[in-house]
Amino acid sequence: MATDIKLAEAPASYDGPGFSATSFDKIIGLARANSLWPLPFATSCCGIEFMSTMASTFDLARFGSERPSFSPRQADMLLVAGTIAKKMGPVVKQVYLQMAEPRWVIAIGACASSGGIFDTYSVLQGIDRIIPVDVYVPGCPPRPEQILDGVMQVQELAKNESLRRRNTEEYQKLLNSYSIQ
Segments forming the whole domain that contains residue 123: 34-176
Q: Is 162 annotated as a binding residue?
A: no
Share of the chain above pLDDT 90, in %: 45
Residue 4 within any structural domain of the chain = no
Helices and strands per DSSP (H, E), number in the chain: 6, 6
Residue 108 within any structural domain of the chain = yes
CA 3 to chain centre: 28
Number of domains in the chain: 1
Mean pLDDT across the stretch 48-57? 84
Q: What is the pTM of this model?
A: 0.86
The enclosing H or E element of 80 equals strand 77-81
Q: Is 64 annotated as a binding residue?
A: no
Q: Is 83 annotated as a binding residue?
A: no
CATH number of the domain encompassing residue 86: 3.40.50.12280
Cα gap 91→110, rounded to integer Å: 20
Most confident of 11-15, 17-21, 69-73: 69-73
Q: Is 158 annotated as a binding residue?
A: no
pLDDT at 3: 66
